[in-house]
Chain A
Amino acid sequence: MIKKATIISVKRIAQRTTEVAIKLPEDFNFTAGQYIWLMIPQLKYPDSKGNSRMFSIVSSPNKKRELDIVFRDSASGYKKTLVEMTPGAEINFSGPFGSLKLPEDISLMVVFMAGGVGVAPFLSMIRFSNETSSGHKITLVYANNSQEEAAYIDELSQMEQKNPKLKLVKLIGSLDTEILRQFTNNQSTFFVAGPKDYVDLVGNYLISHDVPFENMVFEQFYPGAAIKSEFEQKLDSPNPDSDAINRPYLLAMDNAINHIVITDTNGLVLYANKAAEIMTGYSFTEMKGNTPRLWGALMPTKFYKELWQTIKYDRRSFSAETKNRRKNQEEYYAFIRISPIIDKELNLLGFVATEEDITNQKQVVKDLDDARMAARNVMEDLGIEKSKVEKASAKEQAILHSIGEGLIAIDENGTIMLLNKSAEKLLGIKSEEVMRGVFSDFIPMENEKGDYIPREKRPINMTLVSGSTTTDSAYYYVRKDKTRFPVAVMVTPIILDGKVIGAIEAFRDITREREIDKAKTEFVSLASHQLRTPLTAIRWNAELLLSDKNLNDEQRNFVQEVYKGDLRMIDLVNTLLNVSRLELGTFMVEPKPTDMVALARSVVEEQKPEVIQKAINLVENYSENIKPYQADEKLARIIMLNLLSNAIKYTPAKGSIRLQLAMMFRGQTFGGKTLNCDCLVLLVADSGIGIPASQKAHIFTKLFRANNAQTVQTRGTGLGLYIVKEIVEQSGGAIWFESQENKGSSFYVVLRAEGMKQKEGTRSLD
């Protein structure tokens, strides 16, 4: 940004030395040691190098609204114009630039190596340090060709006297580098500014005395009209027509798309082509007098140390990747190559540097890395997902195989699709052997007797056909080794879109269960046998005794009691036996077409003695429409007998009982309920003692006898109704009652018209 200013004064302050004070329009901030570009709006005297020059600011930053610059007079059009400028004249400037500044660490010794007007930035710094009492230990080595030319000497001497931390070393004439010896220690930071030769000389001395690069700071331009090397002169020829031989090369370089910069031996830019200007954003003019650190300086110090070592002292080319910064502050990656320029006499004339903007490649590489990382993450995620799926699948497999039950899955054709481990074990086969085979061929089934069960009759097939679950526990599976085991089978259909596409059978070996059941039933049988035997002995002996006419009445009574007691016991044992069979579910149901009316009549006939004895009015009511009913006679008998004997038991003398058997249809009312089936109904109603309200809930429970029943009739097992209910319900029917205490009870039994379901079991009920 170009700022406007005006000239305050133009003064000669020493031989060939001019100081210009510039008025700043507003507050302008800079740090001591920085420089500015000073632009003269209109050159009085032409100057091929243009109207801008760099100058170190010699005044302290504390001087408000003014800055001073100092320079050696010269014949350049610019300087001649400047020297003749008058106060109030307009002048422009831009800046501040430059990184020369006092180190922050005040413990470090600072050695300012000033050659001539190169003292300018140091003076700014020294003045500033003084004003702010910064505490820096400063040694100024100030070299001039003559006493007269040494500007600011008086001021500096005075400052030295006042400030113990400031040391002034005046050098007049050419520099004897031996003087420098006293300063070359590692604790000092060397700042070097002055004409080119001076800077070269000092620089070389310092380097050869192992002063580390980081301890050397060079001003970025040479002040004043330096003596140019022939090389530089040729490079910078003002006459476009001269050096016609060299011009084509320059032209070529200018047109090259590669960034090319030529610097002097201190790295100061002598030439920069268009590509370099474009790449760095700086114009050649801005670059001139600067080193490439203008757009660099982002690398660690070590880097520059190595760079310098390689090109200047090892005189080899240096190549590296760097990070640079364009004028617009945009950072970019560059591949730089710097080569020393050496003439025939092996003089180092300067350096030629190229830069390749590799930001894109870097970006591509970065993008590639990112993509690779992303891909790797995706791969990892996939891997995780995959292993999750595998794990889940493995889990399912594990579950499938650890299920104790055998599992067989077949398709709609009966082809075996799956066989789990348990199935393999139970059947003694390997799934590979039977997979894809037809199940009925490979897994034979037979019944108790050993008859082969054909495919159509097998539970798994029934499910395929019916599409509903089938259970069965009557068959045996035959193993590969021809041994067999009883099996409980449950088959469920696999339905897709309403069609049966297969079935899954779960089966288990019920040998143990059968054995246990067998043991239980045998125990029950044995127990009942053991109980019945002495009961039989008592019974028969009592009967024989009773038939003896020689007993007196009293004796007869005694025997009667014995006999009655015994009959009760026999009854109880019978009932217990039935109950145990009901509990075990091992009783069998063998439905046959039964004449239920005849059955009812025979039950009534059995109970006749009691009915007559109690003078009970028993009415039988059998409807005409009762067809032979599919029933297990024994069970049907038990139902009727129990209900009737209860009615008789709990109805006092002269009471009445009604027994009704009928065929009824869906929708009709029976016992206060609407029938939802066509069924056979049985009613046993009495006018007896009834069931108290509080006892109604327990009527069907095992061993329960209502209290009022107990007072009437101590005999009674409390099992009768339980048994009836179990039989009725296990036959697919229903039983309920209505009752009022002291009025009577009505028991309603409903049996499905289809009859009792066939049930395989080990026993029938007695």
Chain B
Amino acid sequence: MTDHKKIVLVVEDEESLRPLLRDNLTKEGFTVFEAKNGLEGLDIALLEHPDLILLDILMPVMDGITMLKRMYDDAWGKDAKVIMLTNLGTNEAVAEALALGSHDFLVKSDWKIGDLIKVVHDKLKE
């Protein structure tokens, strides 16, 4: 499986951030899919079955939590690897999300991009 490029799905509405993530992850050798909102993200996820999803929470059309919940209705979705990326602090809704399954939860502004990439690598190795 070492040849197989890992698929990473970036679900992020911010135009200033999503392309940056996409480009840097692509540079790292991943196949990157991107989605602008939860609905798009859901469709792509269920279609492409990415190895890791970087999921923003606050998005238009469908937010990250809802997408996560909808994914859980899917057999594959239940076990999907997800890293929650957000600039919201912790709150109950997020706690709810975390209760659905243990996912990492990162506040974007607190993380160096380099460290973030490292986390992606580590998560995929799990």
Contact = CB atoms under 8 A, between A and B. Distances in A.
Name, among B14, B87, B114, the residue most crowded by chain A CB atoms within 10 Å (CB to CB).
Answer: B87
Contacts of A570: 109-110
Contacts of B97: none
Contacts of B66: none
B91 interface: yes
A536 B112 contact: no
B17 interface: yes
Interface in B60-102: 86-92
Contacts of B86: 529
Interface string A753-766: 00000000011101
Contacts of A540: 17, 20, 112-113
B113 A544 contact: yes
Contacts of A533: 14, 16-17, 87, 108-109
B22 to A, nearest CB: 12
B58 interface: yes
Given A536-B108, A539-B113, A544-B113, A525 B16 contact: no
Name, among B58, B89, B90, B113, the residue most crowded by chain A CB atoms within 10 Å (CB to CB).
Answer: B89
Contact of B110 (A544, A547, A574): A574
Contacts of B88: 525, 528-529
A535 interface: yes
A764 B14 CA distance: 26
Contacts of A525: 88-89, 91
B26 interface: no
Name, among A539, A541, A573, the residue most crowded by chain B CB atoms within 10 Å (CB to CB).
Answer: A539
Nearest to B87: A532
Interface in A541-567: 541, 543-544, 547
Contacts of B89: 525, 528, 577, 763, 766
Name, among A535, A540, A544, A570, the residue most crowded by chain B CB atoms within 10 Å (CB to CB).
Answer: A540
A593 interface: no
A285 B114 CA distance: 147
Q: How large is the interface on A (under 10, 10 to 19, 20 to 34, 35 or more residues)?
A: 20 to 34
Interface secondary structure of A, over-half rule: helix
A525 B90 CA distance: 9
Interface string B15-47: 011001000100000000000000000000000
B87 A529 contact: yes
A535 B91 contact: no
A537 interface: yes
A109 to B, nearest CB: 120
A41 interface: no
Given A528-B88, A537-B17, A539-B112, 10 more contacts: A525-B89, A526-B58, A532-B87, A533-B14, A533-B109, A536-B87, A544-B20, A544-B24, A570-B109, A570-B110
- 4 closest Cβ pairs, A-B complex: A532-B87, A537-B16, A540-B113, A532-B109
27 contacts: A521-B91, A525-B91, A528-B87, A528-B89, A529-B58, A529-B87, A529-B88, A532-B87, A532-B107, A532-B109, A533-B14, A533-B17, A534-B16, A537-B17, A539-B112, A539-B113, A540-B17, A540-B112, A540-B113, A544-B24, A570-B109, A570-B110, A573-B109, A577-B89, A763-B90, A763-B91, A766-B89
Interface of B: 14, 16-17, 20, 24, 58, 86-92, 107-110, 112-114
